[in-house]
Amino acid sequence: MISAYVDSGLGDEALSLFRSMKEDGLEPDSVALMSTLSAAASLSALKKGKEVHGFLIKQGFPVEESVASSLVDMYARCGALENSFKVFNLVKDKDPVLWTCMIHASGMHGCGKEAIELFDRMEMENTQPDHVTFLALLYACSHSGMIDEGKKYLQIMKENYNLEPWPEHYACVVDLLGRANRLKEAYQFVKSMPVEPNAVVWCALLGACHVHSNEELGNIAAGKLLELEPENPGNYVLVSNVFASAGKWDDVELVRERMKERGLRKIPACSWIEMRDKVHTFMARDKNHPQSYLIYEKLAEIIEILKKEGGYTAQTKYVLHNVDEDEKTKMLYGHSERLAIAYALLESPKGAPIRVTKNLRVCGDCHVFIKLVSKFFDREIIVRDASRFHHFCQGSCSCGDFW
Ligand code: ZN
Ligand code: ZN
């Protein structure tokens, strides 16, 4: 039941079921504990995750094999990569899954160099990497902008290990080239793939076209994407965002119509934060939190300070709706991650790191906003969004403004 909750995206329910299990005096076994770890990971609920880790140790479960991998994954997804490394280093017999988890964890945090080091060590110990290992490695390269390395490992995968890459592997390389604004090369690469490019590949290309405002290739990728995966609402959102940022509101409307015809709905943006023993969830412009009034008051105060001290002005080009400038600014101010951060500044002790999780990507304006908050409020802010981790500290971000 716990794992069914986790699989359905109901991490909170999973954790409360785990609590009732203990209250009823039932001893959780390793399966229940691992499901609970993935619940904590899905919510980025570090305290809960640590609690389960502590429980595992108290009960004398050996931290090895799948338990070790689950812990590495949980800590990484809760934004505590150093704890992942601690667990990893303590395991004597490291299996391929554990190596892969650690490589993936490093990649998520933009630590491409560490991911490559891990892979080298893995090879030295004669542990056989598989498709998933290479996926983790290529993902790490792409999130650290390591183009040459990414291409090299794709080659190594084929030649040294005889593994035929999946479209997902190619997508990582497309992403890499795209991020570096080498869009033509990325498109050539897609066309030369020995397997049929799937939606993941086109999605990577489209994402890059969006970032670098390449309309021509963007149109091609958008068409392919909607043709290959017409039932995925995320694709329509991505395509309409591309049109919106180019100011082509008629096309945006057209995509929205097509989406409606199929009965698809956009996933609403949502951010959450663990405070004391509870996970607090915020939607955009949310007023449901019991302390809502104080949160908006705090948010207004933050914006005042950032404007005065940090020269912050809202970049309304990140609002993908056809509304006037004032409305755009209001929309930006109400983005869910800002509400979560304002709440954290209200409630958490001075100097404590702030960990926020968001279900979609952070927009460019919120990225600037959070950088400034980290500087002028002297807080480390760790944001996990749909694609990666951002570690904000003293006005800069670990992603190097590249995500
Ligand atoms: Zn935003
Ligand atoms: Zn960032």
Centre of ligand 2 from the C-alpha of residue 174, in Å? 20
Q: CB within 5 A of ion ligand 2: which residues?
A: 390, 397, 399
Kindly identify the ligand whose nearest atom is closest to the C-alpha of 403: 2
Kindly identify the ligand whose nearest atom is closest to the C-alpha of 110: 2
Centre of ligand 1 from the C-alpha of residue 239, in Å? 18
Rounded to whole angstroms, the Cα distance separating 140 from 129 reads 15
In 109-192, alpha helices (H): 112-124, 131-143, 147-159, 167-179, 183-191
3-state helix/strand/coil string of 17-47 = HHHHHHHCCCCCCHHHHHHHHHHHHHHCCHH
Q: CB within 5 A of ion ligand 1: which residues?
A: 335, 363, 366
Kindly identify the ligand whose nearest atom is closest to the C-alpha of 358: 1
- At residue 143, the pLDDT reads 87
Give the list of residues 6+ apart from residue 298 with CB closer than 8 angstroms, or none: 342, 343, 345, 346
Kindly identify the ligand whose nearest atom is closest to the C-alpha of 315: 1
Centre of ligand 2 from the C-alpha of residue 20, in Å? 38
Residue 109 gets which letter from DSSP? T
Produce one character per residue of 363-386: b if its CB has 16 or more CB atoms within 10 Å, e if not: bebbbbbbbbbbbbbebebbbbbe
3-state secondary structure of 355: strand
- At residue 114, the pLDDT reads 97
Residue 121 gets which letter from DSSP? H
What burial class does residue 219 get, using C-beta atoms within 10 Å of its C-beta: 0-12 exposed, 13-18 middle, 19+ buried?
middle
Centre of ligand 2 from the C-alpha of residue 164, in Å? 33
Centre of ligand 1 from the C-alpha of residue 319, in Å? 8
Rounded to whole angstroms, the Cα distance separating 303 from 189 reads 44
Produce one character per residue of 62-84: b if its CB has 16 or more CB atoms within 10 Å, e if not: eeeeebbbbbbbbbbbbbbbebb
Specify the long-range contacts of residues 54-60, CB closer than 8 Å, at least 24 apart: 55/28, 56/30, 59/27
Kindly identify the ligand whose nearest atom is closest to the C-alpha of 336: 1
3-state secondary structure of 177: helix
Centre of ligand 1 from the C-alpha of residue 385, in Å? 11
Question: Do residues 107 and 137 make contact, with C-beta atoms less than 8 angstroms apart?
Answer: yes
Kindly identify the ligand whose nearest atom is closest to the C-alpha of 383: 2
Q: What is the pLDDT tens value at each position of the chain, 403 positions in all? A: 999 999 998 998 999 999 999 999 998 988 899 999 999 999 999 999 999 999 999 989 999 989 999 999 999 999 999 999 999 999 999 999 999 999 999 999 999 999 999 999 999 999 999 999 999 999 999 988 899 999 999 999 999 999 999 999 999 999 999 988 899 999 999 999 999 999 999 999 998 888 888 889 999 999 999 999 998 888 898 888 888 878 888 988 989 899 889 998 888 899 999 998 889 999 999 999 999 999 999 999 999 999 999 999 998 878 878 888 898 898 999 999 999 999 999 999 999 999 999 999 898 899 999 999 999 999 999 999 988 899 999 999 988 787 6
Centre of ligand 1 from the C-alpha of residue 366, in Å? 4
How far, in Å, are 26, 28, 85, 334 from residue 36 at the CA level?
Answer: 14, 10, 20, 32
Give the list of residues 6+ apart from residue 318 with CB closer than 8 angstroms, or none: 332, 363, 364, 365
To 10 degrees, the CA torsion angle through 88, 89, 90, 93? Answer: 80
First-last CA distance in the chain: 36
User: Closest by alpha carbon to 134, among 110, 158, 117?
Assistant: 158
Centre of ligand 2 from the C-alpha of residue 252, in Å? 27
Kindly identify the ligand whose nearest atom is closest to the C-alpha of 395: 2
Centre of ligand 1 from the C-alpha of residue 361, in Å? 8
Question: Do residues 11 and 40 make contact, with C-beta atoms less than 8 angstroms apart?
Answer: yes
Rounded to whole angstroms, the Cα distance separating 140 from 142 reads 5
Amino acid at residue number 132 = V
